């Protein structure tokens, strides 16, 4: 692993982990620290340049995976961060808090289940209070459970996937909007699944299509306020989501191998895109879906 992502010229096919992944399973949402290998969230490599100095960011699902990489990156770019996650993920949240505080960053932990409206409103209120405002929302919490046939897809799962992945975005934005200043940025996490849906992710893929629609419509509604809204659409990224039922276990070893770049992505490779979309450098970019997919076309 190189010191910083930008230090040297590298072949992207040969960077990061590209071996087979050991077959493994945890109960959702899983603990990232127990994964083999532990996903690379940029703890060693992400270098900040003050792009988000003085900014205040709420990141949902920020204890692990893509959200954790975004949290580390936002903090190193100078933002104060509030990080949401589920209570059972406290070990991952604690290790993130320790890392950020060792680097003199400001982090507020705001656990809570975003599949319920009242929790979403409370998470936003706490983030506003503890950071003294908000101007970046990273709506990233998500759940994914592969099911072979629509006949076996429980209604409970269907409703839970939509509430967590989609409805939470409406509830969080509704509560935060009165306090978001001009210049604020909202970034959602969509997926390649919105464009090339997997037949076993019938509910999940549909939530990701819904997020694309939500992001595009909201960007038009909020443009007049000077608030930009964009989505990142990841391809296969090595995270807890995949080993907690997001993939069938037999598909774990070759996870990501069928992308043009020939390997799965690591969360660290997503974070710079969120930072860019949040920063003033993206001042003319809104309503867009940015793919970070290892070459799969949106």
Q: Which stretch binds ligand NAD (CB under 6 A): 51-59, 83-91, 195-203, 220-228?
A: 83-91
161 binds ligand NAD (CB under 6 A): no
Quote the CA–CA distance of 78 and 49 in Å, as a whole number: 8
241 vs 289, which CB is nearer to Mg ion? 241
245 binds ligand NAD (CB under 6 A): no
Choice from 52, 57, 86, 271 touching ligand NAD (CB under 6 A): 86
Q: Which stretch binds ligand NAD (CB under 6 A): 84-92, 100-108, 128-136, 218-226?
A: 84-92
Strand order in the sheet with 80-83: 107-109, 80-83, 56-59, 136-139, 185-189, 228-234, 289-292
Task: Note whether 107 and 76 are within 8 A (CB).
Answer: no
Binding footprint of ligand NAD, residue count (CB under 6 A): 32
CB atoms within 10 A of CB 129: 12
Task: Note whether 171 and 121 are within 8 A (CB).
Answer: yes
Output the CA–CA distances (angstroms, integers) from residue 234 to 29, 194, 195, 237, 239, in the order listed. Answer: 19, 10, 11, 7, 12
Choice from 15, 16, 21, 29 touching ligand NAD (CB under 6 A): 29
Number of residues in the chain: 298
65 binds ligand NAD (CB under 6 A): yes
- Residue 276: is it exposed, middle or buried by C-beta count within 10 angstroms (0-12/13-18/19+)? middle
63 binds Mg ion (CB under 5 A): yes
Choice from 45, 75, 126, 140 touching ligand NAD (CB under 6 A): 140
Instruction: Copy the structure tokens of residue 50.
Output: 């003050």
Which residues are catalytic, by number? 204
**64-103 footprint of Mg ion as x/- string (CB under 5 A):** x------------------------x--------------
242 vs 293, which CB is nearer to Mg ion? 242
Tell me the HSE value of 214 on the side-chain side, using a 13 A CA sphere: 26
Q: Which positions touch Mg ion (CB under 5 A)?
A: 29, 63-64, 89
Chain positions contacting ligand NAD, by CB under 6 A? 29, 32, 60-61, 63-67, 84-86, 89, 113-115, 140-144, 164, 189, 191, 234, 236-237, 239-242, 267
């Amino acid at each position: 692993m190189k010191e910083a992502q930008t230090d040297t010229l590298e072949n992207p096919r040969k960077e990061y982990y590209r071996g087979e992944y050991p077959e493994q399973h945890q109960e959702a949402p899983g603990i990232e620290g127990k994964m083999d290998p532990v996903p690379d969230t940029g703890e060693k490599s992400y270098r900040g340049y003050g792009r988000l100095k003085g900014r205040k960011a709420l990141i949902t699902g920020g204890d692990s995976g893509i959200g954790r990489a975004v949290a580390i990156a936002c903090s190193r770019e100078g933002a104060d961060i509030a990080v949401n996650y589920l209570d059972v993920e406290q070990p991952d949240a604690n290790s993130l808090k320790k890392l950020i505080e060792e680097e003199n960053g400001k982090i507020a932990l705001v656990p809570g289940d975003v599949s319920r409206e009242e929790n979403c409103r409370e998470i936003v209120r706490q983030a506003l209070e503890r950071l003294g405002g908000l101007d970046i929302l990273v709506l990233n919490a998500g759940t994914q459970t592969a099911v072979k046939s629509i006949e076996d897809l429980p209604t409970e799962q269907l409703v839970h996937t939509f509430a967590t992945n989609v409805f939470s975005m409406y509830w969080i934005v509704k509560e935060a909007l009165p306090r978001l200043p001009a210049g604020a940025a909202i970034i959602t996490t969509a997926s390649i699944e919105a464009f090339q849906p997997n037949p076993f992710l019938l509910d999940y893929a549909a939530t990701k299509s819904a997020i694309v629609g939500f992001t595009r419509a909201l960007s038009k509604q909020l443009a007049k306020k000077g608030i930009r809204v964009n989505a990142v659409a990841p391809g296969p990224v090595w995270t807890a989501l995949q080993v907690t039922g997001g993939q069938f276990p037999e598909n774990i070893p070759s996870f990501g191998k069928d992308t043009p770049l020939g390997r799965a992505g690591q969360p660290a490779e997503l974070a710079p895109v969120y930072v860019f979309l949040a920063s003033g450098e993206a001042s003319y970019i809104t309503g867009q879906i940015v793919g970070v997919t290892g070459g799969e076309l949106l």
